[in-house]
Homo-oligomer: A and B are copies of this chain.
Amino acid sequence: MEKVYQYIDEHQEEYIELLKSFCNQPSISSQNVGMREMADLVKETLESLDADVEEIKTSGYPIIYGEINQNKNRTILFYNHYDVQPVEPLEEWNTEPFKATIKDGKLYARGSADNKGSMLSRICAVDAYKKVYGELPINIKFLIEGEEEVGSPHLKELIEKHPDKIQADGLVWEGGSKNVGGPLQVALGVKGMCYVELHAKGANNDLHSQYAAIVPNPAWRLVWALNTLKNEKDEILIEGFYDSVKPPTSEDMKFLENMEYDEEKMLESRGINSFINNLTGTKLKEKFLYEPTCNICGIESGYTGEGGKTVLPSSAKVKIDFRLVYNQTPEEVLKLLRNHLDKHGFSDIEVVYLSGKHPYRTDPDSLLAKTVIQNVERVYNMPPVIYRNLGGTTSMYDICQTTNIPAVMFGVGDDNSQIHAPNENVNIKDYIDGIKFTATVIHEYANIK
């Protein structure tokens, strides 16, 4: 691999220029800004690798699919996305969001970390490897969509219509980050989600609050119903909710114990005194990654303006996201929730299902996971921090459910990359290391047993 590393070092200006050109092209999916031009740029770039490139139309933005079939035994699928988040609030940016600017070893631009930097680390790794060795030791598939930042509404459709496109032996997910000055994070799974609204109804109009003595108040109905869902110890009280949760194995616990988590920094930066139940150490990390949540994202009823309007509200609404852990499913949680509300006398409360994702977990002993974990130190000079799964949610299950392949996440960001926020940035060194590391994974995955 030394030749490949040397090639990457010698051509780093070229790779940086490529990242700049990607960042300089706006591609805001939620605002339909620059999407066509960005899709074309991705296509051209994949074509320059001599990949077989296909634009797959959807009723939204197209998916760019590229394949380099070298008739090898193993295939890696790289999932990435070419769309970015909006840039507002503009006044908080120190540089122009779509004019990549390098300062103190960092490249600032919207999309630099999420996900153009990580996407190009895959593409440039393939380029460098091919330039040095002439051919790849494995087959590569690129699946690069344009709607990740708006919830990937057409990904399932693609998977159903083109099951061949996702056939692979392992999946490398789109993003990830490094702790500053610290280890690369490698994640082997994600939590799922069940997102619902609960609606309570009272009278047909808001009433003068004198009637609160005799007319039911939907805000109170909601409070009482919510109170049956979770107690002050943060235990979710829905009957059967934890039944399909697979508790961490002793191996999982070893990952947790070795996982770095800076509690003091988190507490201080968030302005809180303690975590839930005053948890610290392994118990805290275990709750973060291995326990499902029942979170009020928003609640609204009645008069919420300034001062004191005396009103009996006619309706009340709450938004709840359940983050699900292996092996829960959104369908199951939705059913348990409805049963629970009915059983506790809240059949009047309507449950509206907004969206769901299954959790997904990869066996740490799978060949792809092993390849990634065993080789981090070669590039980063220290072992990785391994997240058995993340606290967040992605569409990983949607891609992996039929093939049941291992999925691994790593990327070029760090914990100061400001993704989705003003002044998004990536360390130039992390970007170049990301190219080297991906090339290493391609190389080693060919022969691992």
Query: A: which residues have CB within 8 A of B?
Result: 191, 193, 195, 202-205, 207-217, 219-220, 223-224, 226-227, 230-232, 270-272, 275-276, 279, 284, 287-289, 291, 293-304, 307-313, 316-317, 319, 321, 323, 345, 354-355, 390-393
Partner of A276, one of B213, B230, B297, B307: B213
Most buried by B among A270, A289, A299, A319: A299
Task: With A213-B323, A321-B310 as known contacts, state yes or no: A208 contacts B345, CB within 8 Å.
Answer: no
Chain B contacts of A393 at CB under 8 A?
210, 310
In Å, the complex CA distance between A291 and B193 comes to 44
Given contacts A227-B227, A298-B302, 6 further A-B contacts (CB under 8 A): A203-B270, A210-B391, A213-B288, A295-B310, A308-B355, A309-B319
Q: Nearest-CB distance from A430 to chain B (Å)?
A: 21
Task: With A271-B203, A391-B213 as known contacts, state yes or no: A219 contacts B276, CB within 8 Å.
Answer: no
Chain B contacts of A202 at CB under 8 A?
272
In Å, the complex CA distance between A271 and B195 comes to 30
- Chain B, residue nearest A212 (CB): B295
Partner of A296, one of B291, B301, B309: B301
B275 touching A215, Cβ below 8 Å? yes
- Chain B, residue nearest A309 (CB): B297
B323 touching A297, Cβ below 8 Å? no
Q: Nearest-CB distance from A200 to chain B (Å)?
A: 11
Q: Nearest-CB distance from A306 to chain B (Å)?
A: 10
B296 touching A195, Cβ below 8 Å? no
Chain B contacts of A232 at CB under 8 A?
224, 345
Partner of A297, one of B203, B231, B303, B317: B303
B308 touching A354, Cβ below 8 Å? yes
- Chain B, residue nearest A345 (CB): B232
Q: Nearest-CB distance from A422 to chain B (Å)?
A: 13
Chain B contacts of A275 at CB under 8 A?
214-216
B212 touching A323, Cβ below 8 Å? yes
A308 touching B323, Cβ below 8 Å? no
Most buried by B among A271, A303, A304: A304
Most buried by B among A202, A214, A297, A304: A214
Most buried by B among A205, A230, A391: A391
Q: Nearest-CB distance from A198 to chain B (Å)?
A: 12
18 A-B contacts (beta carbon < 8 Å): A193-B310, A203-B272, A210-B392, A213-B391, A214-B276, A215-B270, A215-B276, A216-B275, A216-B276, A217-B295, A220-B226, A223-B227, A223-B299, A224-B227, A227-B227, A297-B312, A298-B311, A310-B321
A313 touching B284, Cβ below 8 Å? no
Chain B contacts of A291 at CB under 8 A?
213
- Chain B, residue nearest A420 (CB): B208
